[in-house]
Structure formats: C-alpha cells, structure tokens
Amino acid sequence: MDKVKHVSSRSYGQFCGVARALDVVGDRWNLLIVRDLLCGPMRYNELKTSLAGIATNLLADRLRSLETNGIVERQLGDAGVLYALTSWGAGLREPMEALGTWGAPLLERGREGDAFQPRWLANALPALLRGRTATPPLEIGFEIEGALIVVHLDKSGPRADLNPTHRPTTILTADPDTVVGLATGTLTADQALATNPLQGDPNTLRKAFPHKHPPPQ
C-alpha cells in the first residue's frame, strides 16, 4: 500500500478570490518562503537557515506545492538548484507589503529574541515608507547586523537595496529595532542618533525621518 503523497492541502471549497488564494499559499510557512524569495532566487539551504526553524521535510513539501501551483520555479543554475518566484508568484508582493504594513505595529514591542534577516527589512522598508518622497533625492544606508540596506527617497517613491556595490555617504549603524522605529515613525531621527553611530551627514537622516507619526487617531 503506497502512501498517498499528501497531494494537496485541504481546500476551503469557496468560490472567493481570497479563499482560492489561501488554498495555494495559506499553509504554514508558504508566505514566509515567498517573502524571502521576493529579494531574489535562493538555494534550499539558504531558505532553510533563513526561515530558522522550519523542518526540512516541510520546506521540501512547501517548495514542491508552490512549484506545482505555479508560484515558485526551480532554476537549474551553474551552481546547483535555485528557487525563484514565477512572475505570477512575484505578484504576491503587493499583498505581502500590505500585510507587512498592517503588521508593523506588532514590531513595536521589539525584537524579543526573535530571529532577524536583513532581507526582511529590505523588503519591508519601501512599503513602510510609501508615500514619502524627497527632493532633492536622499540616499541613506543602514548598517545592520553586518548587512547594508540602502534606502532611496526621490519623487518616484521609496526603494531599498540590500548590500549594493555602491556605498552611500550617510550610513547609520543601528539594530533592527531602531530602523523599524524610524520607518514606522515611533522614533525620530534625533532619538535614533542619540544612541546609534552615524557616518556622514545627520541632516540627511533628519530630512528623511523628520518627525514622529501622529498617534494612530
């Protein structure tokens, strides 16, 4: 008696876009895999260590089901297997950014020993800064746990690059909490500067993060 290969996660059986979406990405870990892949293709073990806690059989299962559902594709590269989002899978960026923005207040309680990957912050920053523009364009680096995230603010909106080749002149060295505080507006530039070392011009940081958000009504 051959084991039925656990073909599909239980469908909600509802004629509804949200329900059908959750049928294919609603299972545990799925959206976090997608979040990681939004920064670019990754290897199996990269994913496994980044997700920090996922069981290896689950990761394999999830990647298989994401692949059969057309969200992820395997790329046989020169250096082995790479997992990447398909173009349809990449369309999950908007829902994920919306979800991350909604969940940002939950980050205010701090790290609490949670795992952290610079990639997650690079993903979140453009969404958190959406609507903010700057003329002339501003460019600020955040050095954080050994990585460098460069945020660009100009009239086309915010962008973030992870470990780019080019280093900006203004770089704040801080921990994840501080950067999130700046982005969500619970921290002012001067509050951040009080405890974190900055290379370059403090006014660049002040211009990008001028004041706290008004309290949420």
Partner DNA sequence: CCGCATCCTCATGGATACTG
Partner DNA sequence: CAGTATCCATGAGGATGCGG
Binding mask 161-190 for its own copies (x = CB under 8 A): ---------------xx--x----------
Total Cβ atoms within 10 A of residue 210: 11
Cβ(11)–Cβ(23) under 8 Å? yes
92 belongs to the binding site for its own copies (CB under 8 A): yes
Strand partners, 72: 85
Nearer to DNA, 16 or 60 (CB): 60
Distance CA 148, CA 65 (A): 33
| Of 20, 61, 93, 186, the one binding DNA by CB under 7 A | 61
- Establish if 28 lies at the interface with DNA (CB under 7 A): yes
Cα(39)–Cα(92) distance, integer angstroms: 12
**In the set 86, 101, 133, 191, which binds its own copies (CB under 8 A)?**
101
Which range of residues in 60-68, 98-106, 132-140, 165-173 is near its own copies by CB under 8 A?
A: 98-106
Cα separation, 73 vs 76, in Å, equals 10
How many residues sit close enough to its own copies to count as binding (CB under 8 A)? 53
Residue 46 near which of DNA, its own copies, none (CB within 5-8 Å, type-dependent): DNA
142 DSSP β-pair partners: 149, 172
Residues 63-82 that bind DNA (CB under 7 A): 63, 74, 80-81
Tokens of residue 132, six digits: 């903010």
